[in-house]
Structure 1
Amino acid sequence: MLNNNTMNIARFLFLSLFTALAFTSCTDKTNQLTNGVWRGALQTDNSVDIPFNFEIYDSLGVKQMAFLNGKERLNINEIEETADSVFIKTPLYESEIRAVKTANGLQGKWIKHLPNKTISMPFMAESNQSFRFVKEENSGVINMTGRWSVQFYKNNGTDTTFAVGEFEQSGNQVNGSFLTTTGDYRFLSGVVDNKTFMVSAFSGSSPVLFTGDLTDGSDIIKGKMYAGPSSVMNWSARRDEDAMLPDAYKIAGLKPGNDRITFSFQDLDGNKVSLSDDRFKDKVVVVQFLGSWCPNCMDETAFLAPFYEKYKNKGLEIIGLAYERYKEMDKAKAAVLNLKNRFKVNYPILLTGYTNDKGQVEESIPALDNFSAFPTTIIIKKDGTVDKIHTGFSGPATGKHYTEFTQEFEKEINKLLAE
């Protein structure tokens, strides 16, 4: 925890660096935060650039920004611009971009605040650049469209994780995602350049880059995944239209002898909330395990918030259980309030007082068994017994998987409401 003196020194050094850079930058019209699509890049500790795109635009005379990843557009409205600098604060994930204006665009750092440390990556951006990886397309490239069986290798290959890759390609441009048992990698966007596959994503949380070599139309070798400042993982893939993940309803469960869960946590107003409260009696209840730090939780919340509005007068209740990175209630409350306001959530989100450690989740809900991912969703029948437990969430980036899940989920809720 930094004291005030340390923080003041850090601010002074940071502003001094910005001032020095600003004096060396161009001050004519090129030194502006111009509207249009920009190409940004974050540099890892081993000097690999993770590229992404964003758009600068005006809204009611105020500068706005949107991260662009495939079909996703995440709007940012917390932009502070001075004569020489730009400060961009993301609405979630407790991260920010601090940059100075240069003759070529922007240069500075992306900073992410964690409970026990702060991480950062060098940031640079050029205006009027809509490409992500290559400016000119190559003809005759291998088409990535379809489903892929993927293996990620950890600890020098001793541990493996299975995933399913699904991509669509038009010309050189590729969009899609990797699906895992804990969720998906959200909207990945990139290219196939000759025989090199490259996709990336950044929306304020951890930046990620996937690269690999296409040997032919059916294999990807020498795959590398770069995430954040220092994480590097190997991976490989084979085209497989039958590739499937394990059933998400059969991963987590209840310990033997249990058919329900119990809890009592505070809501954001400090009131204790329990499943035994009158509000939830004879209701179908969905319990959402989430955290404001979790991108897949954001996708699920974006789905559940309007779903609740549709069914709240038909006998459905939803409760969010927040497992934040901070144990301090004031910090956890601020993060959850931000999430709640961002997605216009009208169901209660409770502050559990536990962190996102999976062991702490099972400690907080002793009946749970094999809890393995955020988000996890529990559907409870009108009599209070557990109907189903779903691990992870396949968001909009997964296309038909998202559509199939949401349709299946709505069908199950309607069935339970009719009982």
Structure 2
Amino acid sequence: MKLPVFNTPVKLFLFLALILTTMITACTSTTSNNQTITPGMWRVVLHTQGQEIPFLMEAAEKDGKSVLYLVNDKERILLDSIQPQGDSLKIGLHIFDADLIAKVEGGKMTGRFVKNDTQTPYSIPFTAEHGKNNRFAEAPAKATLNVDGKWQVVFTDAEGSSYDAVGVFSQNGNNVKGTFLTETGDYRYLDGQVEGDQLKLSTFDGNHAYLFTAKPATDSTLKGEFYSGMTGRESWTATRNENAKLADADSLTFLKPGYDALSFTFPNLEGEKVSLSDPKYKGKVVLVQLVGSWCPNCMDETMFLAPYYDQNKDRGLEIIGLGFERSPEFDKAAARLSKMKDRLNINYDLLVAGVSEKDAAAQALPALNKVMSFPTTIFIGRDGKVRKIHTGFSGPGTGKYYEDWVKEFNKTMDELLAEKA
């Protein structure tokens, strides 16, 4: 190969600059796999069960790198793991063992929502379009149905099993926001619209994809369908009732007769055995949190508990998160909990307690009558005795219910922390 001859330093400099630019461009193309996600809002639609479950995702830049945000009402969930995979991009979905595999072509995306932590991993196809910020119809027909307010709700599955819920909705013209509360947690931030007499609400938090539809059955009742993920489907009915309520969350899980305390020993994320009877916890107020990295309600509770612990540990507080994970293998379970710990800035102890089944959790803590929900939070006084057990969690998507929970939590903790050992 014959090299060019440069008769001035300037020409040599320009030649070297051209070579360097070419090398950087080549590296960038390889890293991004020629896939560029245009900044701005994207309307994404999951295609499942003959339905469309829409959600919004915003592309932006953070700390010099491209990131995405899942947008549900006021919530923005950061997705900052975007890697090339074949001719597509693999977008890690926050703390969850799930990904979006997306092929980007200009202002369009096609791909799959992949769930890795189910017994049989599955994927749901999706499409996306840039520059759209309408979750449902872009120009909906005028709303003739008003769902604003509180509703007593019953969900029923295909086998006829049912459970109670409370629907709380806020409507402004066509736009509707709200959620459903159940005895085991809430359905987080729901966003949607009423078009004519049809209600549609959806959410996608990186692990759960939900679609709720309904029409009026009478002047004061609704009848609808609830679609979840690849196969989940339930019917639901709702009756307008401003006094709608659920059973007391502090009464559902309790100690069996003859017990006034808990006893357990599980490995931490490094494999070292940790017991509730260890000196570290003696004479302190201890919260025991039944948690899972796969659980969005647990994520919500943890985002409250993690900073609360940092601000109050010097008052004599310890928190122990008992992780019940999808995998029975310690290394895999510990890896999932470690990711949750890093992403949510958890500085309290996390232990690997078992698999994510309510019966397994009940067997791991035989003093409890049952475990109904993840999360379940157990309040232990400085004397080592259980003072209260709270089933489920009403997260920030529930508005006033969350605010009431925070007030009650702070009241209980202040009383326990004020006690002498």
Note closer, same or farther for the CA distance 1:217–1:135 as it changes in structure 2 (3 Å cut).
farther
Note the alpha carbon deviations across 1:64-121, whole angstroms, 9 max, x for none.
1000001110010011358953221112221111122235501111111125321110
Assess, with a 3 A threshold, how the Cα gap between structure 1 residues 317 and 61 changes in structure 2: closer, same or farther: closer
The alpha-carbon distance between structure 1 residues 281 and 61, as it changes in their structure 2 partners (threshold 3 A), is closer
Residues 235-284 of structure 1 deviation map (CA, whole Å, 9 limit, x = unaligned): 11111100001000110111111111100111122222112111111111
Is 1:412–2:412 an aligned residue pair? yes
Show the counterpart of 1:359: 359
Q: What residue is the counterpart of 1:287 in the other structure?
A: 288
Question: Given that residues 143 and 174 in structure 2 are in contact (C-alpha distance below 8 angstroms), is that contact kept between their aligned partners in structure 1?
Answer: no
Alignment-derived partner of residue 62 in structure 2: 59
Say whether the 8 Å CA contact 1:142–1:217 is kept in structure 2: no
Equivalent position of 1:314 in the other structure: 315
List structure 1 runs of 4+ shifted beyond 4 angstroms.
81-84
Unaligned runs of at least 5 residues, structure 2: 1-34
**Distance in structure 1 (CA, Å) of the matches to 2:222 and 2:118:** 37
Q: Distance in 1 between matches of 2:184 and 2:62?
A: 37
TM-score (norm. length: structure 1): 0.89
Whether 1:50 and 2:65 are equivalent positions in the alignment is no
For residues 344-399 of structure 1, the C-alpha deviation after alignment (integer angstroms, 9 at most, x for no partner) is 111101111x2111111121111111211100000011111110000000000000
Instruction: Summarize the alignment of residues 76-225 of structure 1 with structure 2, pairs less than 5 Å apart.
Output: 76-80=79-83, 85-102=88-105, 105-114=108-117, 116-156=119-159, 158-215=160-217, 218-221=220-223, 223-225=224-226
3-state secondary structure, aligned to 2:250: helix
Q: CA RMSD in A?
A: 1.6
Q: Alpha-carbon deviation of 1:216?
A: 6.0
CA distance in 2 between counterparts of 1:207 and 1:34 reads 24
Q: 1:180-214 CA deviation, whole Å, 9 max, x = no partner?
A: 00000001100011100000000210211000003
Q: Is the 8 A contact 2:164 2:182 kept in 1?
A: yes
What is the aligned partner in structure 2 of residue 272 from structure 1?
A: 273
Q: List alignment gaps of at least 5 residues for structure 1.
A: 1-30
Q: Percent same amino acid at aligned positions?
A: 42
> Which residue of structure 1 aligns with residue 42 of structure 2?
38
Mapping for residues 317-336 of structure 1, pairs under 5 Å: 317-336=318-337
Give me the whole-angstrom Cα distance separating, in 2, the residues matched to 1:242 and 1:289: 30
Give how far 1:35 is off: 0.8
Write the letter of the residue equivalent to 2:161.
D
- AA aligned to 1:389 is I
Residue identity in the other structure for 1:396: P
TM-score, scaled relative to structure 2 = 0.88
How far apart in 2 are the matches of 1:126 and 1:47?
20
1:395 matched residue in structure 2: 395
Q: Quote how far apart the aligned CAs of 1:155 are.
A: 3.0
Matched letter for residue 133 of structure 1 = F
Query: Which has the larger displacement, 311-320 or 103-112?
Result: 103-112
Q: Is the 8 A contact 2:98 2:117 kept in 1?
A: no
After superposition, residues 360-379 of structure 1 pair within 5 angstroms as 360-379=360-379
* 1:70 equivalenced with 2:73 (yes/no): yes
Pick which of 82-91 and 118-127 moved more.
82-91
1:346 equivalenced with 2:347 (yes/no): yes
- The worse-fitting range, judged by mean Cα deviation, of 75-84 and 55-64 is 75-84
Amino acid at match of 1:252: T
Please give the alpha-carbon distance, in whole angstroms, between the structure 2 residues aligned to 1:84 and 1:275.
50
1:297 Cα deviation from its structure 2 partner: 0.4
Shift of 1:411: 0.5
Q: Distance in 2 between matches of 1:52 and 1:396?
A: 19
CA distance in 2, matches of 1:252, 1:368: 7
In structure 1, distance between residues paired with 2:389 and 2:57: 37
Which amino acid letter does the alignment assign opposite residue 193 of structure 1?
A: E
Amino acid at match of 2:195: D
Residue by residue over 1:129-154, the C-alpha shift from the partner in whole angstroms, topping out at 9 and shown as x without a partner, is: 10010111433533222111111112
Contact 1:55–1:68 (CA<8 Å) still a contact in 2?
A: yes
Count matched residues.
Answer: 385
Cα distance in 2 for partners of 1:231, 1:115 equals: 13
The alignment partner of 2:283 has SS state of coil
